[in-house]
Amino acid sequence: MPVKDPLSRVLYIDLTLKRFWVEDRRDLFDKYLGGTGVAVSLLREELPRGADPLSPDNVVVFSVGPFNGVYPMASKTVAVFKSPLNSNLGESHAGGRSSVAIRLAGYGAIVIKGASDAPVWVSIQDNRVQFRDARALWGVRSTHTVGRVLREVEGGHGFRSIMRIGRAGEKMVRYACVVVDTFRHFGRLGLGAVFGSKKLKALVVIGKHSIPVVDKPAYRRVYDKIFKSIMETPATRKYHELGTSENVLPLNALGALPTMNLKQARFNCAEEISGEHLAAKFLGRRVSCAHCPVACIHLAALREPYDREPYFYKTTFVPYDYEPIYSLGSMLGVCSTTGLLKLLDKVEALGLDAMSTGVALAWTTEAFERGLITENDTMGVKPTWGDYENYLKIIELLVDQPNEFYATLARGTEYAAKVYGGEDFALTYGGNEMPGYHTGPAAHLGFATGARHSHLDSAGYSYDQKTVGKTIKVEDMVDYLINEERWRQVLTSLVICLFARGIYTPQVVVEGFRPLGVELSESDLLRIGREIHLLKLKFKLDEGFNFSQLRFPKRIFETSTPHGRLDPSFMDTALKLYQSKIEEDLQKFSSAG
Amino acid sequence: MAKPRRLSVVDVDLCVGCMMCVFACSRRFGDGGVARSAIKVASIGGIERGFTVIVCRACPDPPCASVCPTDALNRRDGGGVVLNHRKCIGCGNCVKACPYGAVMWDEEANKPIVCMYCGYCAQYCPYGVIEIEEVKN
């Protein structure tokens, strides 16, 4: 890292004492680049082992990396914390303007500790941190309103990021998200609940500094090369045109689109919730994260008449992406496009993770069908496939938690299934609700073994789709997942959006570092990726994670994939092989110091 | 001699808020970040409502020049101004005089930043929101 780069500055904020200070942590940034690597290191330093995720002991770390604010599509911020959903490593990434704002405010990471006694929002600009009274914002119905208020009272228009929680975070629903700049999210694993437990309503970061570059002409040359490849690669065109929702129809055709709690992997209403249909009938605007020309964020314009007032209409902009379409669309059997959009808007307004919410509702519906829960539990609402009106009611109820059932559901699908039964069809991995890919063995093994139990850890879904019709060798699949997850640790430490993974090859990353005055070889990068991966797994093991306790939900073996029905013994062998490879590597890692 | 040029916001409704232009403008000086950018993109009250692109429109009779106490802002042929750094005392009158807010401020140098109509930013706009054009007489 060049001497003048402010990246190594870490801002510590103590919410209990209402204090802040800055430390230079060049040691960490030199070792682990930034992003995931540095964030996990800081979490390990700061978090007392075995801490209650909803107590003041929990720590939230936001981190950016050397490429943010410097190269295009380096547009993500990494958040790590102890997850209240699975009581282990919480890691979630978001774009919007967050990474650029943090980086250009002159920080590489922000560490938030303690808890406030009264609701606050924290405002960061340059060397100033303000703790502001958020009592009047607590309990406000929609995250949109909170955003609107903060936009008015805060400065830095055009150079800021506003991250806030909704009522779900305040009520500590364990899969509450943090909404970033409207329509982007730290979605997974419950960062919103951690904010809520700390009485932290929002974090505003304003940044408009420059990043010094060592070799300026070379910087412009490398920048242009990357920019050109982004604009010309078909790989980014997909996100650019229809957006991620382009995946709905191909996955459906393949028989890999989880539908009605994965009773099926094809949805007869796939057309209605497809990217093509949404673009033709509803697409109102496309927007981008800061410093990314792709504009993958697709907003539907939902126009609704008022019942009692003729000629009055409300037009709401609703973000849609593949994952929320899967979880609140096909998983719930919702055929109505407007119904789906209303569900998407509801989770946005309340600040819930769309994926976890959809999977929790899908489990609820099947548990209700089977009589594991009754109308007594649901307070008279009948969860029924496709009935989005009822799902809208249930979402409100699981945030308010007026009875034991909803309080249980607010703790996550895995927990609810432990209490009420139905674990065989509770689609969770490591306590996290499953992503939308029933593509084959690699996807499910990746959900189980990935450090954040996300499809983005190791992209098994991609391996499955490339190997359809072929016989998968266990060892090849396991090696692919491990290597992919390790390389992704490098990308998410820089912090590159994973949609640009085809652009930022190891060679391009090496070239990108040079003008910044950093000489790293491809093998250095791979070594760092491996170390970060093992560091994360070590954190997980220390916090009680155990490979042998991982389970594959029985449901995944009942519904055919593009690779046919999955074989439990094959999956078991794969998991054991994965475990032994990691354990062996961890031993080498530990003995090497 | 080449005709004077100006930067034109052709269709702001095409803007996706990517800020590629903002980053390009600071990159003219070879650095990352946005501290020296003469162009700004901000939402108009939430990104769902769209964006505003703020940049000097090269006024034929620029108010920013009129309020400069040290004549550091010189009128340019074809409209707009050229900043003479040596004369500028950093008073900020020019910032207040521009109704668009198109005179930016370099916090690191404590001087105004005004578009020099080079068109570098437009090369990075993926959607044709901004273009460099010759000034019409």
Q: With a cut of 80, say whether residue A235 has pLDDT above it.
A: no
- Looking at the complex, does the CB of residue B45 fall below 8 Å from at least one CB of chain A? yes
| Interatomic CA distance for residues A239 and A246, integer angstroms | 8
Distance from CA of B64 to the nearest CA of A (A): 22
pLDDT of residue A234: 83
| Interatomic CA distance for residues A346 and A142, integer angstroms | 9
pLDDT of residue B1: 61
pLDDT of residue A161: 97
Query: Sorting pLDDT into bands at 50, 70 and 90, what band is A237?
Result: confident
Q: Convert the pLDDT of each residue in A420-456 to its tens digit.
A: 999 999 999 999 999 999 999 999 999 999 999 999 9
Distance from CA of B94 to the nearest CA of A (A): 19
Q: Going from the N-terminus, what domains does chain A have, and what CATH number goes with each?
A: 6-206 (3.60.9.10), 240-422 (1.10.569.10), 439-502+521-591 (1.10.599.10)
Contact at 8 Å (CB) between A204 and A161? yes
Nearest-by-Cβ selection for B16 from A144, A181, A288: A288
For strands A109-113 and A9-14, give the pairing: parallel
| Interatomic CA distance for residues A326 and A353, integer angstroms | 13
- Looking at the complex, does the CB of residue B130 fall below 8 Å from at least one CB of chain A? no
Contact at 8 Å (CB) between A320 and A344? yes
Mean pLDDT to the nearest integer, A279-304? 96
| Interatomic CA distance for residues A168 and A196, integer angstroms | 8
Contact at 8 Å (CB) between A43 and A81? yes
Nearest-by-Cβ selection for B33 from A144, A209, A217: A209
User: What average pLDDT does the structure give for chain A?
Assistant: 97
pLDDT of residue A593: 58
Q: With a cut of 90, say whether residue A144 has pLDDT above it.
A: yes
User: What average pLDDT does the structure give for chain B?
Assistant: 94
The Cα-based distances of A97 to A160, A292, A312 in angstroms read 7, 10, 34
Q: With a cut of 80, say whether residue A479 has pLDDT above it.
A: yes
- Looking at the complex, does the CB of residue B60 fall below 8 Å from at least one CB of chain A? no
Q: With a cut of 70, say whether residue A1 has pLDDT above it.
A: no
The pair phi, psi for residue A232, each rounded to 5°, is -105, -15
Contact A211 B32 (CB under 8 A): yes
| Interatomic CA distance for residues A203 and A131, integer angstroms | 10
Nearest-by-Cβ selection for B48 from A159, A211, A299: A299
pLDDT of residue A370: 98
Q: With a cut of 70, say whether residue A368 has pLDDT above it.
A: yes
| Interatomic CA distance for residues A70 and A292, integer angstroms | 11
Query: What would the DSSP string read from start to end of B5-64?
Result: EEEEE--GGG-----HHHHHHHHTTT-EESTT-S-EEEESSSGGG-EEEE-----SS-HH
Query: What would the DSSP string read from start to end of A109-155?
Result: EEEEES--SS-EEEEEETTEEEEEE-GGGTT-S-HHHHHHHHHHH--
Distance from CA of B137 to the nearest CA of A (A): 33
Q: With a cut of 70, say whether residue B137 has pLDDT above it.
A: no
Mean pLDDT to the nearest integer, A307-327? 95
The Cα-based distances of A73 to A198, A278, A292, A496, A500 in angstroms read 32, 25, 5, 6, 7
How many residues in chain A?
Answer: 593
Q: With a cut of 80, say whether residue A286 has pLDDT above it.
A: yes
Nearest-by-Cβ selection for A291 from B18, B107, B126: B18
Chain B residues whose CB is inside 8 A of the A220 CB are 27, 30
Residues 6 or more apart whose CB falls under 8 angstroms from that of B33 comprise A69, A70, A103, A104, A208, A209, A210, A211, B23, B26
| Interatomic CA distance for residues A274 and A242, integer angstroms | 9
Contact A219 B27 (CB under 8 A): yes
Mean pLDDT to the nearest integer, B56-67? 96
Mean pLDDT to the nearest integer, A227-241? 87
% pLDDT > 70, chain A: 99
- Looking at the complex, does the CB of residue B105 fall below 8 Å from at least one CB of chain A? no
| Interatomic CA distance for residues A163 and A47, integer angstroms | 22
- Looking at the complex, does the CB of residue B99 fall below 8 Å from at least one CB of chain A? no
Mean pLDDT to the nearest integer, A118-133? 96
Q: With a cut of 70, say whether residue A112 has pLDDT above it.
A: yes
pLDDT of residue A404: 98
Nearest-by-Cβ selection for B50 from A103, A104, A285: A285
pLDDT of residue A568: 98
Query: Sorting pLDDT into bands at 50, 70 and 90, what band is B46?
Result: confident
Contact B108 A144 (CB under 8 A): no
pLDDT of residue A225: 98
Mean pLDDT to the nearest integer, A122-126? 95
Q: With a cut of 80, say whether residue A335 has pLDDT above it.
A: yes
Q: What is the ipTM of this complex?
A: 0.96
| Minimal-distance CA residue of chain A relative to B16 | A287
> What are the sequence ranges of the domains in chain B?
7-119
Query: Sorting pLDDT into bands at 50, 70 and 90, what band is A487?
Result: very high
H/E element holding A179?
strand A178-180
Q: A474-494 and A441-449 are packed helices; what angle lies between their axes, rounded to 10 degrees?
A: 50
Mark A134-144 as b/e (b = at least 16 C-beta within 10 Å): beebbebebbb
Query: What would the DSSP string read from start to end of B58-114?
Result: --SS-HHHHT-TT--EEE-TTSSEEE-TTT-----HHHHH-TT--SEEETTTTEEE-
| Interatomic CA distance for residues A13 and A1, integer angstroms | 24
- Looking at the complex, does the CB of residue B42 fall below 8 Å from at least one CB of chain A? yes
In CATH, the number for domain B7-119 is 3.30.70.20
Q: With a cut of 90, say whether residue A355 has pLDDT above it.
A: yes
Query: Sorting pLDDT into bands at 50, 70 and 90, what band is A2?
Result: low
| Interatomic CA distance for residues B107 and A204, integer angstroms | 20
pLDDT of residue A218: 98
Distance from CA of B35 to the nearest CA of A (A): 5
Query: Sorting pLDDT into bands at 50, 70 and 90, what band is B107?
Result: confident
How many residues in chain B?
Answer: 137
Q: With a cut of 90, say whether residue B47 has pLDDT above it.
A: no
Read off the tokens for A590: 């530990």
Can you tell me whether residue A545 is helix, strand or coil?
A: coil
Strands (E), A274-358: 283-287, 297-305, 313-320
Distance from CA of A207 to the nearest CA of B (A): 9
Burial of A205 (0-12, 13-18, 19+ CB in 10 A): buried
Read off the tokens for B108: 């690191």
